[in-house]
């Protein structure tokens, strides 16, 4: 039994019953729950969820109104433990991006890895395992590989 950080792409598909990956994500979460793993969230994931969920559908969002999104966030916080961000997060992030020579949007993924590392979370459930390539301190697990 261990902690598993949920990536934003996983949370988005879990919330969107019409997403093609919804069933895959749901099964992976159920399997992890059944194993006794603790599924956790980072505040960054909830912020990114808010951005996508409130963005209009014609620009790759859900088009949900803020009240619906707030309710979804409350539900996620009730279901999954929210990791706290402390001052050590920035230092760990800076070490990761510098050591792995990360550029551009991969710095966001490194921040998720940093919060996982700070809290001793060994793995991140994500649809984009390559986003965490070069960050050796955590293991990126695709939902299809959860057993």
Domains of the chain: 3-145 (3.40.50.1010)
Q: What is the DSSP string of 85-138?
A: P-THHHHHHHHHHHHTT--TTHHHHHHHHHHHHHTT--EEE-S-GGGGTT-TTS
Report pTM. Answer: 0.95
pLDDT score at 1? 81
3-class SS at 81?
strand
pLDDT score at 147? 87
**29, two tokens:** 């979460």
- pLDDT tens, 68-112? 999 999 999 999 999 999 999 999 999 999 999 999 989 999 999
Query: Does residue 127 have a pLDDT over 90?
Result: yes
- pLDDT tens, 43-70? 999 999 999 999 999 999 999 999 999 9
């Amino acid at each position: 039994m261990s902690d598993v950080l949920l990536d934003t792409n996983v949370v988005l598909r879990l919330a969107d019953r019409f997403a093609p990956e919804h069933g895959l994500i749901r099964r992976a979460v159920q399997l992890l729950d059944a194993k006794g793993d603790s599924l956790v969230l980072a505040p960054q994931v909830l912020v990114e969820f808010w951005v996508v969920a409130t963005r209009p559908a014609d620009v790759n969002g859900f088009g949900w109104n803020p009240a619906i999104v707030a309710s979804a966030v409350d539900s996620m916080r009730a279901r999954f433990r929210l990791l706290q961000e402390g001052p050590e997060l920035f230092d760990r992030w800076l070490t990761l991006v510098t050591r792995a020579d990360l550029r551009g949007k991969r710095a966001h993924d490194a921040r998720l890895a940093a919060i996982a590392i700070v809290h001793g979370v060994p793995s991140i459930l994500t649809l984009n395992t390559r986003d965490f390539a070069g960050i050796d301190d955590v293991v990126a697990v695709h939902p299809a590989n959860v057993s």
